[in-house]
Structure 1
Amino acid sequence: MRKSTVFFLCVILLWSCSEEEPIAPTPKPPADKLTYTIDYFKAVALGVEFGNASAITRKWNMPMKIFVGGEAQAVLQQELIAIVDELNVLTTDNFAISITQDSLESNCYVFFGSSTSFVKVYPASASNIQSNWGLFYYFWNAQNDVYKSVVFVDTHRTRNDAERKHLLREELTQSLGLARDSELYPESIFQSAWTTTNEYAEIDRDLIRLLYHPTVKSGLTANQVDPILRQAWKDFHPN
């Protein structure tokens, strides 16, 4: 049996992205909402932020089971539950996320704590951790289906719960396959500049709905996914 090649992705929030950094104004969208949503989908969902991985769709094709490690503060536990509930409503391809107390059955490890503690648990993060408050790694197989992820939220260098909740929402959502940051749409959870957004913008919800629509598969190029997205759009925007 052919052994699948394993890849990983690390998405970083840089210290240089502070609250004071100006955010570009929301660009005037094209004439129709569908067109600018698909353009944003291609910018965020195709490829990875760093490295040479091909610009194609990647998504989970199995349930995500989250195990929480580190310093599991009650407020972040509750936020994680809320985010999971939101995501489960937006996906329609039988993908589902749950939280488990059994690390052996999990395939997503969410760690809250210090950078020092996380490196001890996940040494591969050592080269990125010092300048980043939040990051994720995800792994996909030869079919480009994601099957494992690791999410880190620094609860020591962050200054308040709003920042921690933002990092949790962004990194967990990006680990679904919406892996690239963008300078567009300041209200978006995928905004590349530093923000403390703690809810999904309307366009974010549309991107999640599209990626986890039954007709959208892993491994699709921009040209292949375009007509599929246009058809899928009609299921949640019928008019």
Structure 2
Amino acid sequence: MAAGRLFRAACAAALAVALTGCDTSQLAPRNTATTPQTRPAGLVPPKPAAATPAPQQASQASRDLARYYARLQSDLLARGLLRTDGGGPDTLYTDEMLLRNFQRIALADEYRRGSGLSPAGRDDDSAIKKWTKPIRVSAEFGAAVPAEQAASDRRQLSAFVSRLSRITGHPIAMSDADPNFYVLFMTEDDRASVVPRIRQIVPDVNPVALRVFETLPRSIHCLVIAFSDTPGGYDYGTAIALIRSEHPDLLRLSCIHEEVAQGLGLGNDDPSARPSIFNDDDEFALLTSHDELLLRILYDPRLRPGMTAEEAMPIARQKVAELMGGPS
């Protein structure tokens, strides 16, 4: 991919922000310059999906974004990326690979807490991040989002939320009654309403997080920010995902999968994770079976928020053995 198209969906390392004191977290924009693994000849990339046209009343800026993202999706599909097959004979992985990927994705942060897009260093310790309370997901749409598209996005989000609940065994459901995981579908023309809405949801949100939303470049397709119930904590209590509505259908669905899944606590991307959406190369558009296993490991009740790698990895190894049928 051209060098200008560097960041993909996931400012999703979940900016882990504390509700009180708001010592923000990690952003994880996805880098699409990474070259994907070679695919076997028998796997043929899907035909490019038609882009969802921007509404006639959209501004020039919004129409320009819609055209840009339509070209981007077509380019990715033509290169065999944005796969929706979940993996195949070219993406086999072992129990040790799964364990390694869990450690790198769930127990590492791409960006330093409280510093926006500043990369985390090797010495920056992290820990298990997850929800312990029920998750109530709501979908909100900007005034400029077409009604038909909003209805489709709500259906896609609802289906994915149900899938995540089955995978994790954690109570996750769509609800407009006292939600704590907000998914905002907004166009460029809705930009002015985004920051005020975030302030309504989290009145003492860190200004660093707000600046990311205020100055969002087109290279960041969507993002999620998660907040702990305790200052500096790892037990999530609120999350906000922002998805650009100018995306064509597959990119928008990809954003739903990545942002909501990362908002559950899989906060990092790793170039060796495959088949996975937690990777910078855009090879896979949708949550894979590998990613489902990562979530099942994370939501094992033996793993608690705040556990270090030293504490968590022996438990994760036991869980991987249970999932993969290997020795404990």
Match of 1:117 in 2: 190
CA distance in 2, matches of 1:35, 1:5: 39
CA contact (8 A) 1:170 1:189 kept: yes
1:39 alignment partner, one of 96, 100, 107: 100
CA distance in 2, matches of 1:163, 1:196: 11
Residues 109, 119 of structure 1: CA spacing in aligned structure 2 closer, same or farther, 3 A cutoff? farther
Which structure 2 segments of 5+ residues have no match? 1-18, 40-92, 114-123, 197-209
Match of 2:160 in 1: 83
CA distance in 2, matches of 1:65, 1:149: 10
Match of 2:250 in 1: 162
Give, as a single letter, the amino acid of the residue that structure 1 aligns with 2:36: I
2:132 alignment partner, one of 31, 50, 61: 61
Match of 1:22 in 2: 35
How far does residue 106 in structure 1 lie from its aligned partner after superposition? 1.0
- Report runs of 4+ in structure 1 exceeding 4 Å deviation: none
Task: Name the count of aligned residue pairs.
Answer: 223
The answer to whether structure 1 residue 201 and structure 2 residue 280 are counterparts is no
CA contact (8 A) 1:23 1:186 kept: no
The answer to whether structure 1 residue 128 and structure 2 residue 213 are counterparts is no
CA distance in 2, matches of 1:234, 1:89: 20
1:227 alignment partner, one of 306, 314, 322: 314
TM-score by length of 2: 0.61
Q: Secondary structure at the match of 1:40?
A: helix
Q: Which has the higher strand share?
A: 1
CA contact (8 A) 1:215 1:232 kept: no
RMSD, aligned CA: 2.7
Match of 2:79 in 1: none
CA contact (8 A) 1:11 1:136 kept: no
CA distance in 2, matches of 1:176, 1:224: 20
Q: Percent identity?
A: 22
The structure that has the greater radius of gyration is: 2
Residues 68, 33 of structure 1: CA spacing in aligned structure 2 closer, same or farther, 3 A cutoff? same
The answer to whether structure 1 residue 144 and structure 2 residue 234 are counterparts is yes
Q: Secondary structure at the match of 2:306?
A: coil
How far does residue 116 in structure 1 lie from its aligned partner after superposition? 4.6
Residues 12, 55 of structure 1: CA spacing in aligned structure 2 closer, same or farther, 3 A cutoff? same
How far does residue 48 in structure 1 lie from its aligned partner after superposition? 2.4
CA distance in 2, matches of 1:195, 1:119: 33
Q: Secondary structure at the match of 1:69?
A: strand
Match of 1:184 in 2: 272
